Amino acid sequence: MSAPTWFQRFLLPGFAFKAVVIGGGYATGRELVEFFLPTGPHGGLLAMSFAAVIWSVVCVATFLFARATYSEDYRTFFRHLLGRGWLVFEIAYCLFIVLILAVFGAAAGAIGASVLGWPELAGTLCLMIGIAAFVAFGNTSVEQLFKWVSFFLYGVYALFVILSLNAFGDRISANFVLDVPTDGWLLAGVTYAGYNIVGAVVILPVLRHLTSNRDAIIAGALSGPLAMIPAFLFFICMVAYYPEIEAQALPSDFMLKQLEVPLFHGVFQLMIFAALLESGTGSVHAVNQRIAQAWQARFGGDLSVRARFVAAGILLIVAMLLADRFGLVTLIARGYRGLAYVLIAVYVVPVLTYGVWQLWQRRRAQPALSTP
C-alpha cells in the first residue's frame, strides 16, 4: 500500500467536511441569507469567520480523538466518547439523514425540472442513483468524488465572483461601506456552525490517511476555511443586492438572472446538483461504513459492493421517496432545531470537554509509559 499523499493527509478531510456541510441551502445561498445577511455585510463576514473558526476547533478535537481511539466510523467514535449513550447520537443522526436526504431529493427534482424540463421524480432518481453508485464502491470512490467535485465547485464560485465584480462591482463596493449595525454576528456564527458541525464526525472514513497527530491538527485547522471559502465568495456577490436579496427564496437564481449569462446559469445549476451529490454521498457513506463495521465484527468479512449499493438504496428510498409521502419530513422538520441542539449536546460538548480531557490524559501517560 502506497504512502498517503499530502492531498489525502491535509486537504481531503477539509474537502470531505465541505462536501457534507454545503448541501442545498448553502449552495443556493438561502442559508447564507438566513444566517448572515441580517447582521449586515460586515457582520455577515464576521459571523462566517467565527463559524469557520468553530468548525476548525471541533474538527481538530474530533480528528485527534478519532486517531487516539482508532475510530473509522461514527459508532466506534461514540462508543468511546459516550459509552452506552452512543445510541442517542445514532437515533438523532438517522432522523437528521432522513430530513436532509428528502430535502436534497426535492432540490434535485427541481433542478431537473427547471434546467432540462424533466418530471421532478427524474431529477430525484438521478441523484439517488448517483449517491448509491459512489457509495457502493467504498472509500476510494467517495474520496475521488470529494476531490473532483471540490475543484469544480471552487472554480464555479471563483468564476461567479469574477462575473459579479464585472457586472455590479460598484454596487458591492457601495453596500460594503453602508453604516449597518452588526449586532448579533456572534450568535449567528455559533448557530450556523452548530447546525452543520456534525459533518466533522460524518467524514471519519477519510481520516485513515492521517499519519500523525500533526496531520490531524493541520487537516482539522484547514477544514473550517475550506468549507467556508465558497460561502465567503457567494456572500460578497450577494451584498450587491443587499438588503432586497433577503426576500428571495433562491438567492443564487436571483443573482444569476442579474448576470444575464444563460450558459453560466446552467453551469451553476449543475454545480448545485454536484454539491447535493457529494453532500448526500458523504452522509450515506457514513451510515454504510457503520454497517460495514458491524458486519465485519459479526461475520469477519468486508461488506460487498452489492450490499453497499442495496443498503444505500434502501436508505435513499426511505428518505427521498417514502418520508415525504408519509409526512415524516414535515414531522422531523418541525423538530429540526431541537434535533440540531441534541447533536450539539451529544457530540460537540462531549468532544470539547471529555474528549479533550481524555487526549490530555493519554498525552500525560505516554512519557510515564516510556520511562524505564
Domain ranges of the chain: 7-348
Position 46 scores a pLDDT of 96
Residues ≥6 apart with Cβ < 8 Å to 243 = 37
Position 311 scores a pLDDT of 93
* One-letter amino acid of 154: Y
3-state helix, strand, coil in the chain (%, to 5): 85, 0, 15
Position 117 scores a pLDDT of 84
Query: DSSP letters along 154-211, please?
Result: HHHHHHHHHHHHHHHHHHHHHHHTS----TTHHHHHHHHHHHHTTHHHHTGGGGGG--
What span, in angstroms and rounded, lies between the C-alpha atoms of 142 and 153?
A: 16
Is cis: bond before 205, omega within 30 of 0?
no
Position 339 scores a pLDDT of 81
Answer whether 207's CB lies under 8 Å from 67's CB. Answer: yes
What span, in angstroms and rounded, lies between the C-alpha atoms of 338 and 301?
A: 38
The CATH class of 7-348 is mainly alpha
Position 370 scores a pLDDT of 44
Residues ≥6 apart with Cβ < 8 Å to 87 = none
Answer whether 59's CB lies under 8 Å from 220's CB. Answer: yes
DSSP H helical ranges for 206-326: 213-238, 251-259, 262-299, 305-316, 323-325
Position 372 scores a pLDDT of 44
What span, in angstroms and rounded, lies between the C-alpha atoms of 96 and 339?
A: 7
Position 10 scores a pLDDT of 96
Each residue's pLDDT expressed in tens, for the chain with a length of 372 residues:
578 899 999 999 999 999 999 876 788 888 898 899 999 999 999 999 999 999 999 999 999 999 999 999 999 999 999 998 999 999 988 888 888 888 888 888 888 887 788 888 898 999 999 999 999 999 999 999 999 999 999 999 999 999 999 999 999 999 999 888 889 999 999 988 988 889 999 999 999 999 999 999 999 999 999 999 999 999 999 999 999 998 887 888 899 989 989 999 999 999 999 999 999 999 999 999 989 888 887 877 788 999 999 999 999 998 888 766 766 667 666 777 788 888 889 999 999 999 999 999 888 776 544 444
> Residue 159 CA to chain centroid, in angstroms?
22
Q: How far is CA 225 from CA 49, 75, 93, 158, 251, in A?
A: 8, 27, 24, 15, 22
What span, in angstroms and rounded, lies between the C-alpha atoms of 146 and 152?
A: 10
Q: Helix (H, G, I), strand (E, B), or coil: what is residue 29? A: coil
Answer whether 80's CB lies under 8 Å from 69's CB. Answer: yes
